[in-house]
Amino acid sequence: MNKTIKLNKHIKAFLVTKFFAYSQQAFFGIFINIYLWRLTNDISILVFYNIIFTLFHGLAILPAGKIAKEYNRFLPLRLGLIIQIFFLSLILYLKEDIISNLILVGILGGIGHGLYWASDDILKFDLTNPSNRLSFTSTFHILKNFAKGLIPLFASYLIVKNGELISSYHTIFLCAFIITLLSLISSFFISNVKQFKTQDYNFFNTSLNLLKNKKIRIILYSTILSKFSETLPILLGLLLFFATGSELSIGSYQFITLFLAIISNYLLMKLFNSSHYKKLLIYGGIINFSLIFILFVNQSFSGLLLYGILTSIFAVTNNPRHPVRLDTINGYAKNKEELLNIRIEYINLMELFDIFGKLLSFIFLGLLALSMNFYLIAIIASILALGKLFANFLIAKIENKDFINIDTMN
């Protein structure tokens, strides 16, 4: 049994900020897509918005890395949250006119989220080390699942209780606005663990050197594949709405399935360590992919809920992907100084591959413009799910011995 590794106060403060960020996503991330669908009944509008959003998310990554490395680690995170506050304010102001201003909304939202999450990934590296990353990952997944389980239930209840489309969605977007403001305030309580040394940002030369390494390439290819599955929650939201005609089913589904995910993440943190990575990835990947075929057998809410319950129990086996992605660079760097010099470029490179995988996912989702047939959605879902399966198999090729324990915190 793995001895629980305690997280220090700096990581705990960071986790509070992340909790607010995940709460904002829970109010906004799922329901903006349902909102666009309800306004237009046109899947192409939904796909168009997500492509614009994702493109500008990607464009914000390199400026975020440069600011973090050459000026201040926390500045991109706070700038991103400020832009998200303006982004949500614009949505609240536009109401149904969001459709005619979709490009502007997508650009502003993409830049805000890009700056925030690029900085978030850098701080994950700065504030943790190989010895506590699985514990950290399990903890932030617990917080993420708690936020994304409880809040959608509350949000969907507000929508159904109100009944009127615009005002009900206006209420939950207002909640997202308030939570984003709380996230910004809480970010000032993350103590600077040490004075981060400012260095020159050299993304392109560093990336060319990183791409010469086989294990780094494995991480990047697996990143594309895992992010290719990015639209699965959107598809499940649509399936739930089609099966029941009510947003409350989405909230109920999220609450039940993510409550189970909290328990499974807690057990992972208690029972497993890095020596179990390979088995978790391989066996978990096979099981999770196999479960997707439940969608072909039962298209009712109960069938979808069964799928959600089982995937929530086993989805925790995907967690090793995160620490392996971060720690593989330890095996590339010759010493601590080199690691400190290249890690932001490495993180930004992974994020760009993330964006490429997401774009492929949304483009593939555009096939639904041909038909909104339930079985076509299930077929697309099963193809998307292959991404995570192949990603797990690729990452399982990285051995524990490839993690050189360079402690960046000392």
The rounded mean pLDDT for the chain is 82
Q: Are 29 and 236 in contact (CB under 8 A)?
A: no
What is the percent of the chain with per-residue pLDDT over 90, rounded to a whole number?
A: 23
Residue 194 carries which DSSP code?
A: S
Checking if the pLDDT of 149 tops 90, the result is no
- Write the pLDDT tens digit of every residue in 291-317: 888 888 777 888 888 888 888 777 767
Report the 10 Å Cβ neighbour count for 95: 14
Checking if the pLDDT of 341 tops 70, the result is yes
Checking if the pLDDT of 172 tops 60, the result is yes
pTM: predicted TM-score of the whole model, two decimal places: 0.82
Checking if the pLDDT of 368 tops 90, the result is no
**How far is it, in rounded angstroms, from Cα 293 to Cα 383?**
11
Q: Which helix (H) or strand (E) holds 117?
A: helix 102-127
**How far is it, in rounded angstroms, from Cα 269 to Cα 205?**
37
Phi-psi region of 406 (alpha: psi -120 to 50; beta: other; left: phi over 0): beta
pLDDT computed for residue 63 by the predictor = 94
Average pLDDT of 49-53?
A: 93
Checking if the pLDDT of 134 tops 80, the result is no
pLDDT computed for residue 274 by the predictor = 63
pLDDT computed for residue 2 by the predictor = 43
Q: Are 171 and 162 in contact (CB under 8 A)?
A: yes
Which residues are CB-neighbours of 204 under 8 A, at least 6 positions away? Answer: none
Nearest in space to 261 (alpha carbons), one of 328, 315, 210: 315
pLDDT computed for residue 30 by the predictor = 73
Give the pLDDT band of residue 199 (cuts 50, 70, 90). Answer: confident
Which homologous superfamily does the CATH classification assign to the domain defined by 10-187+203-402? MFS general substrate transporter like domains (1.20.1250.20)
Q: Look at the chain and count its residues.
A: 410
pLDDT computed for residue 410 by the predictor = 38
Which residues are CB-neighbours of 166 under 8 A, at least 6 positions away? Answer: 95, 96
Angle at 206 between CA 203 and CA 207, to 5 degrees: 80
Report the 10 Å Cβ neighbour count for 203: 18
Torsion angle of the four alpha carbons 376, 380, 381, 384, in this order, in degrees rounded to the nearest 10: 180
Which residues are CB-neighbours of 133 under 8 A, at least 6 positions away? Answer: 322, 323, 326, 327
**How far is it, in rounded angstroms, from Cα 63 to Cα 116?**
11
Give the pLDDT band of residue 192 (cuts 50, 70, 90). Answer: low
Give the pLDDT band of residue 320 (cuts 50, 70, 90). Answer: low
- Phi, psi for residue 190 in degrees, rounded to 5: -80, 110
Residue reference for tokens 């089982």:
310
**How far is it, in rounded angstroms, from Cα 29 to Cα 180?**
13
Q: Are 323 and 274 in contact (CB under 8 A)?
A: yes
Q: Are 215 and 56 in contact (CB under 8 A)?
A: no
Angle at 137 between CA 136 and CA 138, to 5 degrees: 90
